[in-house]
Structure 1
Amino acid sequence: MNQEIMVTQDAVDYTQHWWPSHKPAFMSLTNGGPQVRYLRAGHGPALVLLHSLRTQLDLFQRVIPKLVGRFTVYAFDYPGFGWSEIVPGADYQEPAMRTHVVNFIERLDLRDVTLVGESLGATLALTAAAVLRDRVKQVVAFNPYDYLPGVERANLLASLVVKSVRAPVIGPAFAAMESRSTLAGILKGGLHDPRNLPPDFIDELLKSGKRPGYSQLARAMYRALPSYVSARQGYTRIDAPVTLVYGDRDWSRPVEREANVKLIRNAKTIVLNDAGHIVSLDKPDDFARFVLDTQSTLCPAV
């Protein structure tokens, strides 16, 4: 099945709040596969934005408007995330999630793609680039999520919640108990300045997270996080130039960052001052500037 389905009002309202002239659409990643919500905007070479754990394409609300003058920007909710279709019992290990990214790009037949990801999306950008090879022009990876315990380093609340959600007996109950205060508290742990978290974005995440089956997805995703660490070995197969951008307040440690540089042949590293794990919200101007600068480096003006 490769047809667009009717976009529900809930799947449209928030995105059109910050980008009124563009309406998300839905498509299947494979024949008969899950329907995913995606946004296309702008003109120029293809750029695909990959969002983080427990978010959706609206994470990039502050950077998409800054990029559409130079790129055709694509962003999508991974299957089950945001407003994309939830498939009961779906696999959220890294290989399965990487395949969704690959399918998205191949379904749209995108070439010379700039892959830009944040957190878990940065890890998927790197591993997908290793598979897509000559379809990828460059990768910009903001704070790759490829180490443990990951989000548990955000703050004490995040550590307690994630441990509880993953637990074998109490986990399902905790996953279903997500509240505005816990979600906001965890996300603020990813920001240098907690005031950079849009309150209405929290409301949107809670709304999409109330769908049937979402709590099971969240638990499966947290339990799958070790697979994203294992997937680092795939970085050695990346041919495209890679820019690794780390906030100086990111959860990763210097030794973990250095290990990534050693694995990626064509990598350079940038450290951004006064930035946490979620650069797209903390420092949207810098996020866009780094992406635009890498494009200018690869395609200098003549």
Structure 2
Amino acid sequence: MVSQNAFDYTLRWWPDQKPEFLSLTPGGPKVRYLRAGQGPALVLLHSIRTQLDLFQRVIPKLTDHFTVYAFDYPGFGWSEIVPGADYREPAMREHVVNFIERLDLRDVTLAGESMGATLALTTAAVLGDRVKQVVAFNPYDYFPGVERANLLASFIIKNVRAPLIGPIFATMESRASLAGILKGGFHDPRSLPPDFIDELVKGGKRPGYSNVARAVYKGLASYVAARSYYARIDVPVTLVYGYHDWSRPAEREANRAQIKHAKMIVLKDARHIVSLERPEEFARILIETLSTARSAA
């Protein structure tokens, strides 16, 4: 039975439609997803240690232009946790591919943030003509990843990844530690909604979640290696970086150089989590890319 917790928070900011559950393959896993709006398909892919509610300030601005789909990756948010599952990039990319194919979505705009941005790029490389364009906000494809957020993040994530003490540290997440890490993703930490932290903490208390968190943080190398797929992308790509993002300017330029049809936008007064810090800009960029794609058609 699905817990009411899977619906309560999302219905607070989007009361028009209750999230649903979908099996990505005949044998699972089941993922929670939200569908809203009308128009061309837009799939939003969330960041590390979050869930579809990351886009709570963006989705309402997009529903007059797109049919928006957002889902919790397996193991994240309120989607099914499968013991021993793989959380490296190839497995996570396969979940995104399965989601799009399961719903038979076509001419899709893929937009992601952080880990979701990297998955949007690699998914576009393998999905062919189902994807129309990609908008990638602050791709997560460099070492040491989230450890650049702040000293607290560096200390905690290093220990979560550690061989012997890692499993213990992964179970010790608190509201204060999670908020401290997440605030490292904002140029202005006041942009982080306190009730969103509470929601993430609630989901993080599910049995087995600490194993998911540790596996995700240990899988960073696979997201760095996934940059090898970028040269295979054959649709327009918009790379969007917060000026204060964790990535370095040289890393951003390397991504732009590797992607054939890429342009880059840098947003002032933004860091890593643009969807919550600069939702107006996030939505504006997506709407403008749709308009550009239509003009080119």
TM-score by length of structure 1 reads 0.97
**Length, aligned pairs only:** 297
Asked if the contact 1:7–1:24 (Cα under 8 Å) also holds between the matched residues in 2, the reply is no
**1:51 pairs with 33, 39, 46, which one?**
46
Q: Determine if contact 1:50/1:125 at 8 Å carries over to the other structure.
A: yes
Corresponding position: 1:230 with 2:206: no
Contact kept in structure 2, 1:37 and 1:76, CA below 8 Å: yes
Partners of 1:233 and 1:269 in 2: CA distance: 19
Please point out which of 111, 121, 124 is paired with 1:116.
Answer: 111
2: CA distance between counterparts of 1:236 and 1:50? Answer: 21
Ranges of 4+ aligned residues in structure 1 off by more than 4 Å: none
User: Equivalent residue of 2:197, what SS?
Assistant: helix
CA displacement at 1:22 relative to structure 2: 1.2
Question: How far apart are residue 301 of structure 1 and its match?
Answer: 10
One of 263, 266, 269 as aligned partner of 2:261 = 266
Note if contact 1:7-1:25 (Cα within 8 Å) is conserved in structure 2: no
Tell me, yes or no, if structure 1 residue 275 matches structure 2 residue 270. yes
Q: 2:158 maps to what in 1?
A: 163
Instruction: Give the fraction of aligned pairs with identical amino acids, expressed as a percent.
Output: 76
Task: Structure 2: give runs of 5+ residues left out of the alignment.
Answer: none
Q: Which amino acid aligns with 1:204?
A: E
CA 1:236–1:214 in 2, change beyond 3 Å: closer, same or farther?
same
Match among 68, 76, 79 for residue 63 of structure 2: 68
2:105 pairs with 1:93: no
CA shift for structure 1 position 8: 2.6
Shift of 1:21: 1.1
Within the candidate set 258, 270, 293, 1:298 is matched to 293
Task: Tell me, in whole angstroms, the C-alpha distance in 1 between the residues paired with 2:229 and 2:22.
Answer: 28
Structure 1 residues not aligned, in runs of 5+: 1-5
Q: Which amino acid aligns with 2:220?
A: L
Letter matched to residue 133 of structure 1: G
Give the aligned residue type for 2:53. D
Cα deviation, 1:229-287, whole Å, max 9, x if unaligned, reads 00000011101100000000100001100110111000000000000100001100000
Partner of 2:193: 198
1:100 to partner: Cα distance: 0.2
Q: Aligned-pair distance for 1:7?
A: 4.3
| 1:164–1:170 Cα contact (<8 Å) kept | yes
Q: Distance in 1 between matches of 2:128 and 2:296?
A: 25
- Using the size of structure 2 for normalisation, the TM-score is 0.99
Classify the secondary structure of the residue corresponding to 2:159: helix
CA RMSD of aligned residues (A): 1.1
